[in-house]
Amino acid sequence: MEKTFAIIKPDAVERNITGKIIDRIEAAGFRICGIKKLFLAKAEAEGFYYVHKERPFFNDLCTFMSRSPVVVMVLEQENAIVKWRELMGATNPANAEAGTIRKEFGVSIEENTVHGSDSPESAAFEIPYFFSQLELV
């Protein structure tokens, strides 16, 4: 079984669609190993997204991610990273396939509802950024 990291972003939490997204996650066969609702300080968002620090959207992304609460999760199933990315859909909701979370709930490329690890290496960084081993069941 593989684990991946997921975030339900501020735009989705603000619109009270967290439960709908979690329903989609569970219906797709994922097991939620850890889940928390929290408010990221801008410095925490900057640390999490440090790989993008040289990109022009970095400041806007960190400001967005720290504007209101997020829900962070660790998801598990066979090929979890690839399957979660497929369920999320393309980064730009306008380009996402029908039936994906971003197509159904995404507002824009900036407010695209969810985040997911894109590789085993990013999952290995992202999961312990928010969860200790004791919190994963």
Residue 12 CB partners (closer than 8 Å, separation 6+): 18, 21, 105, 113, 114
Classify 108 as helix, strand or coil: coil
Query: Residue written as tokens 């990221």?
Result: 40
Q: Are 25 and 32 in contact (CB under 8 A)?
A: yes
Widest Cα–Cα separation across the chain: 39
Pairing of β 114-116 and β 70-77? unpaired
Q: Residue 36 CB: number of other CB atoms within 10 A? A: 13
pTM of the model: 0.94
pLDDT in tens, 26-64: 999 999 999 999 999 999 999 999 989 999 999 999 999
- State the catalytic residues: 115
Average pLDDT over residues 84-106: 96
87 vs 93: CA distance, rounded Å: 12
In which band, very low, low, confident or very high, does the pLDDT at 101 lie, cut at 50, 70 and 90? very high
The conformation of residue 23, written as its DSSP 8-state character, comes to H
